[in-house]
Structure 1
């Protein structure tokens, strides 16, 4: 294997996760080869729900604005009892990360957008109709045997390999990585429609043991139904058009709508026992399979891509030590499993197996309405696990788990630039590391900050956010100054004048540097961010934040 002829990253699988990873790596300037055994991207609906964190990832990749044009933004869910009366509602109104918490989309349109987005770069070699048949690794790289659609075979050498090849993941099998969890006993029928006559824009969840189901609106007069198969029903029986039309007639005005797809699925709650083996990484469905009840399958995969992309870029470009890649396995599985558990819990609410259980659950939710904090916990989706890490590539701030800022995703408020333009915060953070100061005088925003040997190597962008009561002018050279336009940043970080925040490219806080005692944190960062040519020092005690849980409680 000649290192001079290796590509930095080979991505196997051009679904939404592989395509997003390719776009992110290209944004960071990393050449990739993208291999997909199919001749094109998917043409039929699959995933249909995208959340605020995922839209933020597309923002980093420069595609969020185009994506929003294809979406039905900001919708909620209504849970219906056995008589189809509402007993619970989920309608989040916050946009902490810059986007609505729930948005409907079409996967074929997303994949087409992501594939088109690759054309912005000269660093992507996208090869559709190319299947990986064998993978071999050693300490210096990986060798992939590839078969093209015309039968031609060739060898590809890569420094790193990203397996984004789906739930059946041939690469996961080649790596001999098992999965643990469980498969649902009951199958579900998925029906996708075009030309719906139902203009209700919330998801209806039918929590009825006689036939649990979901009715989801989509963009452009599309709609999806999902129904659980009952005992004795066969795949052939439930996909018969007459059977499907009867189900549609019983659940709204779409009996005669155009059926795009009708297919039976088995749902899984599974996770790979390793997410990394040697120089190969598992992402998306190759790493975890999530029940659809929370709409988090694709979103968890996009989190994988956001987490891994900047680390791969830093390593292959010589800015980060290779040990930074170990944190992918440290950081992602815990949060992904929390979301799987959330989906399992929602499934129990949707699929009570007896009428008595259904009435008990539904009466309990009605009672929650009488307690505003508990009702708010449901309606605002505060039960969704926060995007945060209990251990990984960051330096602890010593705060209690519920209070810590480190390992959590940074909020994204609206800010005002010096030329009075309104922007989302990430637009001024750019696509790399950022060092944030909250100060009324940008000239003094970084006074007292110790020298950081890694700052130039990592290309850290310095940003001063002023209070909403101060105009952001007269910033010194090398500092971007913006105004906290609505006060959302100060509200989220009320003590922000007392520290600086080092933010990673994936928008997670890497360190909180106290203004009055900065040296200890900066020293810990310099050990963690030791240059690639130097031995990677052991992190300082407490450098990995020990957090038992990041779930909110009522």
Structure 2
């Protein structure tokens, strides 16, 4: 990827520059790496961040990690089925969130320690010769034109380096230099209160799950994390400073609220945070795209800052790959903001609301909350609403890279598809995504997924790397029926796929690489729906594909 060209040539060229080696940048670089895109990842620091950060990873994010082939290495650093309990000052639990659903293949809420998982994602990049990471590089400036983006970097030993790429993905945090340079707005609010985070080894409490105590004097959080780590978070009160709170006697006073012996702890680290709720006015400016905290930041109370960033990565990476490979036009990149911005705002609003539940702006609001919650806890539908996390806005795309006019609000189009276990013809039981891989999929219940397509249509979908999958009740796999070449047969061993297809007047689903339903059909309408989707994807016939930049630069 480094060039030995004349003096005026860039030091590095790539198809995509990913600025920032946080989780979002790492996930994007891994996906692009595995599909053959030339990637240069640039990080300002000399190593990955290791201080206290996110502690909650959800099922959608684990599905993203699964898609880049690293979930087996990540799972040992998680605690599945992690409950969240809101407590009154007297210790009564008024909201017990224990989501036990696994419709996307994984536990809905999981505790984790972010630096450990980030390290897994970083090590994963070593699998790809087409991905290079540069640490200790500080972006000085960038410019873009009709063909690409040029960057200037401060490198070690006072060197200046230049980079040329077709696209820049800015994952450079809430204070994003790229966003500010572009003049993109970042509207929202900063919370008036800060919080001090204290991580402790050899968990002195040992109880599982996470507790949010709505103490009007000083609200706090107590969270069990993997590997025997306990996190405490306390609100910083007006007039207090990080330096003051960090003194041993003041730390002891904080921990005395939650521990019988605050002197017997093994402190890992402490850090003060400010909670912001902000959303970028645009996610794309020509060849530059914003993702993660550069595009949106939110309070931590629903654990959705990290997970919203991972949704950005899942949505953007496959679209960028298609455009770079010449399989889709640049218009496809417009659907990234079109699909992600509204949902990011919904998650910001949810996180702000959860913060107000934990620490109401007015004391009388806390008393009202406690009284109402006591009554609602006795209503089974309300309890289920909390237990199953139905209050969490699930991503649902009404327009974008999909066949938008299908079925209205009741349609599965624009929603994430389920991921049950299936049985292969070889007799193995695997999760559905392991059969699909990192590509599109056309999945047919019972029928031949090629039957409704012309040979030209089949070739158009194969050019995108599509997997054609026939799903049957698993007992039918033993019938040994012959299937067309290139069709994969799997058995519905749990009955969940049959139940899903039984809800809708459709027997075929067209899935995007991010596992969202892009269209539904029956065999007789598959060709028509498929052509509509290809147009929505701005798909380009195979003959017009372009070579990646890194292979075209002399």
Per the normalisation by structure 2, the TM-score is: 0.92
Q: How does 1:196-235 map onto structure 2 within 5 Å?
A: 196-235=203-242
Q: How does 1:217-296 map onto structure 2 within 5 Å?
A: 217-253=224-260, 255=262, 256-296=264-304
Deviation at 1:6, TM superposition (A): 4.2
Supply the distance in 2 between the matched residues of 1:288 and 1:24 (Cα, whole angstroms).
21
Report what 1:27 is aligned to: 34
Distance 1:530 1:266, change over 3 A: closer
Q: Does 1:448 align with 2:455?
A: no
Supply the distance in 2 between the matched residues of 1:53 and 1:215 (Cα, whole angstroms).
24
Report what 1:488 is aligned to: 496
Supply the distance in 2 between the matched residues of 1:4 and 1:460 (Cα, whole angstroms).
36
Alignment coverage as a number of residue pairs? 532
1:419 counterpart SS class: coil
CA displacement 1:328-354 (0-9 Å, x = unmatched): 111111111111111111111111244
Deviation at 1:498, TM superposition (A): 3.4
Residue 431 of structure 2, aligned match among 424, 431, 438: 424
1:293 counterpart SS class: coil
Supply the distance in 2 between the matched residues of 1:350 and 1:519 (Cα, whole angstroms).
52
Supply the distance in 2 between the matched residues of 1:470 and 1:296 (Cα, whole angstroms).
42
Deviation at 1:496, TM superposition (A): 6.1
CA displacement 1:515-540 (0-9 Å, x = unmatched): 34345423322433454479x9xxxx
Deviates more, 1:60-69 or 1:390-399: 390-399
Q: In angstroms, what is the RMSD of aligned CA positions?
A: 2.2
Residue 477 of structure 2, aligned match among 459, 471, 487: 471
Report what 2:532 is aligned to: 524
Report what 1:159 is aligned to: 166
Q: Gaps spanning 5+ residues in structure 2: where?
A: 1-7, 545-554
1:501 counterpart SS class: strand
Structure 1 contact 82–358 (Cα < 8 Å) conserved: no
Q: Does 1:391 align with 2:399?
A: yes
Q: Does 1:54 align with 2:61?
A: yes
Report what 1:37 is aligned to: 44
Deviation at 1:253, TM superposition (A): 4.8
Report what 1:367 is aligned to: 375
Deviates more, 1:59-68 or 1:195-204: 195-204
Distance 1:446 1:347, change over 3 A: same
Structure 2 contact 30–121 (Cα < 8 Å) conserved: yes
Report what 2:547 is aligned to: none
1:373 counterpart SS class: helix
Structure 1 contact 397–512 (Cα < 8 Å) conserved: no
Supply the distance in 1 between the matched residues of 2:460 and 2:537 (Cα, whole angstroms).
7
Report what 2:189 is aligned to: 182
Deviation at 1:22, TM superposition (A): 0.7
Structure 1 contact 437–496 (Cα < 8 Å) conserved: no
Deviation at 1:445, TM superposition (A): 4.8
Supply the distance in 2 between the matched residues of 1:379 and 1:296 (Cα, whole angstroms).
17
Supply the distance in 2 between the matched residues of 1:153 and 1:144 (Cα, whole angstroms).
10
CA displacement 1:365-410 (0-9 Å, x = unmatched): 2222222222101111111111221221111253131x11111111
Report what 1:126 is aligned to: 133
